[in-house]
């Protein structure tokens, strides 16, 4: 589904991503882990087209998206969340989901207002579904900026889904969540998988990664140092060394 081929991104002298190779298969939950600064967010930014790579290729669903801009990668079926939450804080929960929809019928309406007025009933009922899915139905009229942190993260995931992606890239969705919220996130990730959505999960919360992923790639200084099932990764010496060798996050 997603093929990363000898992908590199250099920022000046920093090799943020360094000849990285991995493939995410259709329908799996693929974990991308590694110490702080190892190139995880940069990889997500490259795949979603925030900036072009220095070298290498990105193939999604058989299509070369190496230099595709964010709106093109979104159209191709890739949605994401950000490590630092980005929501429309002055819009309600419902509105945040409504504007994020990427439905073909609503795209025919040329501007937001006409979409709003004439928006299809189907699209509106789908917003309800995302609200339910994210357990945010009772917060629908709250401003996003007033939500608790964990709720904002949930809304970000729901907003990514509203684009009807084939694949979602989640950059540390469990950051700042309590145990209960992490368990609920685990269930939602499984529900995504059950819907056939492929997931790339960047995450520091190891219980979640080890529980929910099918396979994991481990980065260190922009390079892949290991790839395998959660149990293979837990027993990998290079991975243990990489985590011990950092200030511990």
* Residue 16 sits in the site that holds ligand ADP (CB under 6 A): yes
* Residue 45 sits in the site that holds Mg ion (CB under 5 A): no
Minimal distance, residue 197 CB to ligand ADP, in Å: 22
Compute how many residues bind Mg ion; rule: CB under 5 A. Answer: 3
* Residue 39 sits in the site that holds ligand ADP (CB under 6 A): yes
* Residue 52 sits in the site that holds ligand ADP (CB under 6 A): no
Q: How many CA atoms lie within 13 A of 182 on its CB side?
A: 17
142 exposure class (CB count in 10 Å sphere: 0-12, 13-18, 19+): middle
- In the 8-state DSSP scheme, what is residue 92? B
Of residues 8, 38, 66, 152, which one binds ligand ADP by CB under 6 A? Answer: 38
| The 29-33 sheet, strands edge to edge | 78-80, 167-171, 198-202, 29-33, 215-220, 223-228
**Rounded Cα–Cα distance for residues 124 and 137 (Å):** 13
Comparing CB distances to Mg ion, the nearer of 41 and 73 is 41
Q: Pick the piece of the chain touching Mg ion (CB under 5 A) from 40-48, 96-104, 116-124, 186-194.
A: 40-48
Q: Pick the piece of the chain touching ligand ADP (CB under 6 A) from 9-17, 85-93, 108-116, 225-233.
A: 9-17
Tokens coding 107 = 């795209």
Q: How many CA atoms lie within 13 A of 208 on its CB side?
A: 29
Question: Do the Cβ atoms of 216 and 230 come closer than 8 Å?
Answer: yes
Q: Pick the piece of the chain touching Mg ion (CB under 5 A) from 21-29, 36-44, 113-121, 148-156.
A: 36-44
**Burial call 30-64: b when 16+ CB within 10 Å, e when fewer:** bbbbbbebbbbbbbbbbbbbeeebeebebebeeee
Residue 70, contacted partner among ligand ADP, Mg ion, none, CB below 5-8 A by kind: none
Place of tokens 């058989």: 62
Of residues 31, 34, 56, 150, which one binds ligand ADP by CB under 6 A? Answer: 34
Minimal distance, residue 114 CB to Mg ion, in Å: 38
Comparing CB distances to ligand ADP, the nearer of 44 and 78 is 44
* Residue 83 sits in the site that holds Mg ion (CB under 5 A): yes
* Residue 36 sits in the site that holds ligand ADP (CB under 6 A): yes
Give the binding site for ligand ADP (CB under 6 A): 11, 14, 16, 34, 36-42
Give the binding site for Mg ion (CB under 5 A): 40-41, 83
């Amino acid at each position: 589904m997603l093929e990363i081929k000898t992908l590199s991104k250099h920022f000046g002298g920093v090799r943020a991503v360094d000849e990285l190779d991995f493939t995410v298969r259709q329908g799996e939950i693929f974990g991308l882990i590694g110490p702080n600064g190892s190139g995880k967010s940069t990889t997500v930014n490259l795949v979603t087209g925030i900036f072009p790579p220095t070298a290498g290729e990105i193939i999604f669903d058989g299509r070369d998206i190496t230099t595709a801009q964010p709106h093109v990668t979104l159209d191709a079926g890739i949605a994401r969340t950000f490590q630092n939450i980005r929501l429309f804080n002055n819009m309600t929960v419902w509105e945040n989901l409504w504007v994020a929809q990427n439905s073909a019928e609503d795209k025919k309406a040329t501007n937001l207002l006409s979409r709003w007025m004439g928006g299809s009933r189907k699209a509106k009922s789908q917003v309800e579904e995302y609200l339910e899915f994210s357990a945010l139905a009772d917060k629908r009229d709250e401003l996003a900026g007033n939500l608790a942190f964990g709720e904002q993260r949930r809304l970000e995931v729901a907003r990514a889904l509203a684009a009807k992606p084939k694949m979602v890239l989640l950059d540390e969705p469990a950051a700042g969540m309590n145990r209960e919220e992490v368990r609920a996130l685990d269930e939602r990730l499984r529900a995504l998988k059950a819907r056939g959505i492929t997931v790339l999960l960047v995450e520091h919360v190891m219980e979640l990664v080890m529980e929910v992923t099918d396979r994991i790639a481990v980065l260190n200084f922009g390079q892949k140092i290991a790839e395998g099932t959660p149990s293979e990764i837990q027993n990998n010496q290079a991975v243990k060394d990489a985590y011990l060798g950092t200030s511990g996050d």
